[in-house]
């Protein structure tokens, strides 16, 4: 949902502005870094809850959480540079593929 929201209208324009101004405003960089850290913490907690609920141990939930967030940031960095909008189907397909990829390696978490 957050990825979809960030690719639409004013939010996309704001993110483009933030990206372009980050070199001039260190506080923008700190805010973006904090946002990423928070996202990793939230995904880590979600993985831990799922691991506990499913009874499948997880050695370090922060590793797949960080991978997922950084995969999204990298894809988003490409997507917001495009002239044509990203379709919901394209976005959803990419997210599902990345989740499948990470879950396939779950035994190593």
pTM (2 d.p.) = 0.73
pLDDT exceeding 70 applies to what percent of the chain? 98
Cα separation, 61 vs 83, whole angstroms: 36
**pLDDT beyond 80 at 97:** yes
Number of helical H runs and strand E runs in the chain? 5, 0
State the chain's mean pLDDT as an integer: 86
Rounded Cα distance, 46 and 43, in Å: 5
Q: Could you identify the residue written with the tokens 């396939």?
A: 104
Cβ neighbours around 44 below 10 Å, total: 20
- 46 Cα distance to chain centroid: 14
Spatial distance between the Cα atoms of 20 and 23, rounded to a whole number of angstroms:
7
Per-residue model confidence as pLDDT tens digits over 18-42: 778 778 888 888 888 898 899 999 9
pLDDT per residue as tens digits for the range 41-93: 999 999 999 999 999 888 899 999 999 888 888 888 888 788 888 888 998 99
% pLDDT > 90, the chain: 28
């Amino acid at each position: 949902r957050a990825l979809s929201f960030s690719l639409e209208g004013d939010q996309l324009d704001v993110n483009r502005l933030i990206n372009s101004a980050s070199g001039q405003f260190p506080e923008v960089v700190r805010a973006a870094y904090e946002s990423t850290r928070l996202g990793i913490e939230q995904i880590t907690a979600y993985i831990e809850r799922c691991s506990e609920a499913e009874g499948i141990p997880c050695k370090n939930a922060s590793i797949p959480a960080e991978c997922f967030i950084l995969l999204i940031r990298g894809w988003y960095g490409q997507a917001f540079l495009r002239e044509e909008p990203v379709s919901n189907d394209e976005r959803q397909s990419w997210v599902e593929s990345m989740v499948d990829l990470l879950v396939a390696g779950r035994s190593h978490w």
